């Protein structure tokens, strides 16, 4: 191959905005984060993001090494943001009774607003489980259980509380992903109060369970009693 010809004399076009490396990082991450929320990891395209920021796409490569590097960075940042937000919400309203609905609502909006639930879904779908924020569940479950035992004298099994936390988590996650479609499909209107009603109802259900435990037939001791349901055919 012939050696590349030298660039053309070049017309005088000296108008470059030079940011600090940090600034550039942040601006690029912000733009990428937006795309991430809208179209998922695969929606992160260098050219688009470059256009959003107002730079050329090699600039992004320069700062993040590769597309993958950018994806890692933005995913990590977003996940960290979610975790911090959740921690903040949980510690602020430190599991105060009576504030349950508010807490649920806050977590719901946290998962929904910035597309955090969507991000978790995407990561999971693409085979990269977002364990980071999920790690919170264990701690949350234990904390709730401690409070529960202290408050009501009930010596409920830990797993009961953990399952409760799991249920709410999964439901809020599902709400964050499927969102309005499910509300409408379920027969609730698509009016904006539907979510609030759902949250308040869920909290009442929880309260009812926490205080009413015992009127259930089988208190569920612990170990795998699996009486019915033995043949499982789950693919994985």
Task: Identify residues 17-76 at the interface with DNA (CB under 7 A).
Answer: 17-21, 24, 44-48, 50, 54-59, 61-63, 66-68
**Half-sphere exposure of residue 137, counting CA atoms within 13 Å on the CB side?**
19
The answer to whether the beta carbons of residues 101 and 155 sit under 8 Å apart is no
Q: How far is the CB of 20 from DNA (least distance, A)?
A: 6
CB burial class (10 A; 0-12, 13-18, 19+) of residue 137? middle
Q: How far is the CB of 57 from a second copy (least distance, A)?
A: 21
- 100, interface contact from DNA, a second copy, none, CB < 5-8 Å by kind: none
Count of chain residues binding a second copy (CB under 8 A)? 84
- 231, interface contact from a second copy, DNA, none, CB < 5-8 Å by kind: none
Q: How far is the CB of 23 from a second copy (least distance, A)?
A: 26
Query: Which x/- pattern over 128-167 shows residues binding a second copy (rule: CB under 8 A)?
Result: -xxx--xxxxx--xx---------------xxx-xx-xxx
The answer to whether the beta carbons of residues 133 and 77 sit under 8 Å apart is no
CB nearer to a second copy: give 62 or 197. 197
CB nearer to DNA: give 35 or 195. 35
| Closest by Cα among 166, 192, 168, 165 to 179 | 192
Instruction: Say what angle helices 193-212 and 158-178 make with each other, to 10 degrees.
Output: 170
Q: How far is the CB of 213 from a second copy (least distance, A)?
A: 8
Instruction: Tell me the C-alpha distance between 119 and 126, whole Å.
Output: 10
CB nearer to a second copy: give 23 or 92. 92
| Closest by Cα among 99, 222, 74 to 155 | 222
Q: What are phi and psi of 235, to 5 degrees?
A: -55, -55
Q: Does residue 226 bind a second copy (CB under 8 A)?
A: yes
Site residues (vs DNA, CB under 7 A): 4, 6-8, 10, 12-21, 24, 44-48, 50, 54-59, 61-63, 66-68
């Amino acid at each position: 191959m012939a050696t590349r010809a030298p660039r053309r004399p070049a017309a005088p076009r000296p108008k470059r905005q030079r940011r600090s490396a940090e600034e550039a990082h942040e601006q690029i991450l912000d733009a990428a984060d937006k795309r991430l929320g809208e179209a998922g990891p695969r929606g992160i395209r260098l050219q688009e993001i470059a256009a959003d920021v107002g730079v050329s796409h090699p600039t992004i490569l320069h700062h993040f090494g590769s597309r993958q590097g950018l994806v890692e960075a933005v995913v990590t940042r977003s996940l960290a943001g979610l975790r911090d937000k959740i921690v903040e919400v949980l510690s602020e309203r430190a599991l105060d009774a009576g504030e349950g609905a508010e807490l649920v609502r806050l977590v719901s909006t946290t998962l929904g607003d910035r597309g955090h639930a969507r991000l978790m879904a995407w990561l999971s779908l693409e085979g990269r489980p977002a364990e980071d924020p999920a790690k919170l569940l264990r701690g949350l479950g234990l904390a709730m259980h401690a409070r529960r035992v202290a408050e009501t004298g009930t010596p409920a099994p830990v797993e009961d509380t953990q399952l409760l936390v799991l249920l709410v988590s999964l439901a809020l996650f599902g709400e964050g992903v499927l969102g309005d479609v499910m509300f409408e499909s379920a027969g609730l209107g698509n009016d904006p109060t539907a979510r609030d009603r759902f949250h308040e109802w869920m909290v009442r259900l929880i309260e009812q369970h926490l205080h009413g435990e015992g009127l259930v037939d089988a208190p569920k001791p612990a170990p795998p009693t699996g009486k019915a349901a033995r043949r499982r055919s789950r693919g994985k």
